[in-house]
Chains A and B, each alone.
Chain A
Amino acid sequence: MIFKKKKNEIRRMDLASYWQLVWWRFRRHRMALIGGILLGMFLLITLFCEFLSPYGPHSRNTKYTQGSLMGIHFFDEDFNFHLRPFVYARVNKRDPVTFRLKAEVDTSRQWPIQFFVEGEPYKLWGLFEARIRLFGTEEGFVHLFGTDQLGRDVFSRILYATRTSLSVGAIGVFFAFVLGLIMGGIAGYMGGTVDEFIMRLIEFIRSIPTLPLWLALAAALPREWSALKVYIAVTVILACIGWTNLARRVRSRLLSLRTEEFILAARLSGCSGSRIISRHMLPSFLSYLIVDLTISFPYIILAETSLSFLGLGLREPIISWGVLLFSAQNVRSIVHMPWLLLPSLFVVAAVLAFNFLGDGLRDAADPFAK
């Protein structure tokens, strides 16, 4: 049996395409798989955050401002199992001495959690009007991650912020990718003075410490700009710095490929420059580029988060992880509303997930390596 299987597998290996090999190799990398799954979830959140969040990001629950986390229960106090999960009712009370608002749990009342409930209306992707939300309550309210100063649901806000942060990352990486391909391609293919110039430019950009550079660029954004304009500008700024790594990688690959025999063959066959690059050179190192992309993703996300955290990036009403954390950087939040720091967990998860995935992809991209 064992022998047979082994024999089969060898055969499969021999017949498998490059991408199949990559996939098999990738599958063996457990952390990368976990990272991939996590990212899949993030992608779902990004696509369907309106549906997944029980409330709108700006709607306030005045009965539960500064409310703490609400745990979901399946068992009540007497250990009776409930098929339908529930949350205990909460009443916000103000301390007569310190004037602190504190949520009191009322275990005598349960608010069952309903699925596919009609909630606040929203427009999915700005196109389809809908009301159905994944979960919610008919009676009372459910705030899994508590609420902020104004009584806005932190859970919903984090989901919306996920969309912003990841899309800023994606757009930033995309710009960086395109810019890196073009600049690196030009440098690698043309060589000579052009190459020299682009390389020095890259070195110059990379020699500037990144944080001050981001700060300077972000501070240059006029405060009068609308949140949307700032959003676009921030992604462009991030891309402007992010492209250098990629351009170098592209250039070095191109330089080494230029001397390969199959390129020489293509050239002798009369292929044009652009055809050589796009048909012969690019496919042979595309996998490396993908790896590079996944690895540069977390940098862009962190960059956005730190910029917004410092109050120089995105601003309300657009909410990203950084924006959420920005409003939590004071003593009262840390002492009395620590749940406002939950977005940081999402940042950590996303960065780790991308790194694991990138790691796995890098190994998998070269399936013939031992």
Chain B
Amino acid sequence: MKRMYRCLFRLFGNQLLLTSIVFLVLTSVALAGGYATVDNPGGIKTQFPQQLDLKDYEKQLGKKLKLSENPLFTKRVKAGKLPAVEQRVPQDALVVMPYDEIGRYGGKLRGVALALESSTSEGMSWRQVSFVRISDDMRTIVPNVAKAWKWNKDYTEITFHLRKGHKWSDGKPFTSDDVVFYINDIIKNKDLHKTVPSRWQIGGEAVDIKKIDAQTFKLMFAKPYPGFLHMLGASGSYYSPYAVRHFLKNYHIKYNPKANEQAQAAGFKTWQEYFGVFFNKWKDAVTATAYGLKVPTLESHIMDTEPNSQRRTFVANPYYFKVDTAGNQLPYINYHHERFLDKELWPIEIMNGNIDQKSQNMGLNDFPVLKENEKKGGYTMHLPPGMAGPVVIFNQTHRDKELRRIFSDVRFRQAMSLAINRDELNEVLFLGIAKPQQALPENVPFVTDADRNYMIQFDLKKANQLLDEMGLKKGKDGFRLRSDGKTITILWEYTLQYAMSPEFPTLIADYWKKVGIKVLTKEITSALLREKSAANFNDINMEWFVPYEVSMISNPVYFTPPYSTLVPQVGAPWLEYWKSNGKSGEKPPAWAQRLRDIAAEWKTVAPGSKRYLELGREMVKLNLENLVIIGTLGKVPLPNAVSNRLGNVPAFTIDNTYYGYAYPFRADQWYFKK
């Protein structure tokens, strides 16, 4: 069909639309080819890649698009339980181009995660929507729930337009009020947020919102916030600035004075707790309990059965706001089915053909066996670049004075970096396909190859020399000694989440042994490790995500102290110092202070501007000079298994948490081939 279409296209060129109409008449199959796709846009022009508004599309078509729906809903429409598709889809529906062809309805997309709230981001990325989205070029910010926006000149005000007729999954309208509710009653509510989350603050002041009409509102910032859209786009739906007002206000003290009594009657202590089961920053937390069944959503699928520790299921949302270029309401796939299994069982299930798409948290080591069994399991393995390899961050504010002296000496960290044999590490643990490099932001214009290669060479002589210079003498057993004569012993407590495998710390410890540094490795739980990091008890931290440009623009915390939003990776006492305005904690060293100042200024600077590049360079320089984070490998591919039955799935170009795993590749237009 596609080839035929292409031939016709070649013959008729611009007369494509005519061709397609003729085609439609000829075949009278609504779900056949002949419509604009990413593969072959056939003259349809779009402002944003791969998508456009319905009105714009109809204008280009020169006729009204006839909408059609999933047969799943037809019965309910006929019974009068559901309005017709024209009333369900917004007048300003979002028309998306399928990647390869118009899909067909039906099927069940099967995924796997660890638990209800563990490793579920990928399953979420199949159904999630957000205000704006990062396109699959990993740069362009495109409309999604929001129809359009306009900045003022100095990036302090942004006006958003919503889609007329956009409805929640219960059929109630989605309007500016839902955004106002989110900003004023959730983000700025003191009971729900003690302080306004930093992503909603700029220059120390919280965002303000002004409703203009049902589909229009304005956000105002105290200082320029050009990275705001990147913040909204990155990390998917976590930051979506809307909440289902007509439902949630029943549980909110401001709208329901009896909210506390109601919460207590339901078995909760306070209204905030009860509210929390219906609304959470982490969307998987809402679908973790049966309460989630009640919550209306804008996502492509709605939870349809009570979730349990084994599985969670979803059904297509009849009010979803997107259609394909043939006028079929999306999503194509009827059901999502997410199972919870131990990680070691994932490869077996994939090999048995029981999983349709999986990449999040997959181990690179499983790739060979999965690749060998591709045919048997009916899937194809891909290797899109994922995150950086594990990193090592020494605790420079260690409670032990002597260890602090050692860890905070940059020569020590340099020596540790030089003592790592990254090529061997790559061969042994990463199939030889990762790239040795320092820990630096990815896809940004201000990092050079020289930066990436800084002190990554394997040089035992230099490493020993640096340690000798520090005055760390070797004892009888070949291990270096502290100034009190005891052997320096590093206790490396790690979790598999960040070390990826127990072999990683084992190997690194082995390398360091060769320069006389004794390391004991021990696996502990993530929760315990975080507690220890927060209490400044750890020798080594590893909980670091490599920032990509989108997350770098919106929040540079992963490249400035404390290097994490969860738990300080470096300088827990410094963070306390900053938070208390110098009343408690410890005064940070000059470089840390400077990085903190840069981070504050960075948020107000337009991406790509001269100042942006200057600040970026300075951040890179300060981080490398102090070698805060010792990087090992970068661009570690993430194995991605995709069922051969799935259509319209492009090759993932980047597969990681910032871009929301499958989110840029639009799972709502994936479909099951016959």
User: Chain A residues in contact with chain B, CB under 8 A?
Assistant: 58, 60, 62, 65, 94-95, 97-101, 149-151, 223-224, 226, 315-316, 327, 329-332, 335-336
Contact = CB atoms under 8 A, between A and B. Distances in A.
B428 A331 contact: no
B431 A150 contact: no
A209 to B, nearest CB: 22
A289 B261 CA distance: 68
Interface of B: 344, 347-348, 351, 365-369, 371-372, 424, 427-429, 431-433, 502-503, 506-507, 510, 520-525, 528
Contacts of A329: 344
Contacts, number: 68
Contact of B432 (A94, A149, A315, A335): A94
B431 A99 contact: yes
Contacts of A327: 502
B510 A60 contact: yes
B368 A65 contact: no
Contacts of B366: 330-332
A316 B344 CA distance: 19
B367 A62 contact: no
Given A150-B428, A150-B503, A226-B520, A98 B372 contact: yes
A332 B503 contact: no
B520 to A, nearest CB: 7
Q: Sorted from nearest, which 7 A-B pairs have the closest CB atoms? A: A100-B368, A99-B431, A98-B371, A331-B347, A98-B368, A330-B344, A332-B369
A150 B367 contact: no
Given A98-B368, A332-B369, A335-B369, A149 B348 contact: no
A223 B371 CA distance: 36
Given A223-B523, A223-B525, 6 more contacts: A98-B367, A100-B369, A150-B428, A150-B503, A331-B347, A332-B369
A126 B528 CA distance: 35
A145 B520 CA distance: 28
Dominant secondary structure at the A interface: loop
B368 A99 contact: yes
A331 B367 CA distance: 11
A121 to B, nearest CB: 12
A98 B373 CA distance: 10
30 contacts: A62-B427, A94-B432, A97-B371, A98-B367, A98-B368, A98-B371, A99-B368, A99-B431, A99-B433, A100-B369, A101-B368, A149-B365, A149-B428, A150-B428, A223-B522, A223-B524, A224-B522, A226-B520, A316-B506, A316-B521, A327-B502, A330-B366, A331-B344, A331-B347, A331-B366, A332-B365, A332-B366, A332-B368, A332-B369, A336-B368
Contacts of A315: 522-523
B591 to A, nearest CB: 33
B635 to A, nearest CB: 15
A100 B370 CA distance: 10
B334 to A, nearest CB: 31
> Which of B428, B432, B433, B528 has most A Cβ within 10 Å?
B428
> Which of A60, A62, A99 has most B Cβ within 10 Å?
A99
> Which of A97, A226, A316, A330 has most B Cβ within 10 Å?
A330
Contacts of B424: 62
A61 to B, nearest CB: 11
Nearest to B637: A99
A48 to B, nearest CB: 24
A150 to B, nearest CB: 6
A269 B268 CA distance: 76
> Which of A58, A327, A331 has most B Cβ within 10 Å?
A331
Contacts of A331: 344, 347-348, 351, 366, 369
Contacts of A94: 431-432
A146 to B, nearest CB: 15
Contacts of A150: 428, 503, 506-507
Nearest to B513: A58
Nearest to B421: A62
A250 to B, nearest CB: 40
Contacts of B427: 62, 65
A332 B520 CA distance: 27
A315 B522 CA distance: 9
Contacts of A226: 520
Contact of B428 (A65, A332, A335): A65
B81 to A, nearest CB: 46
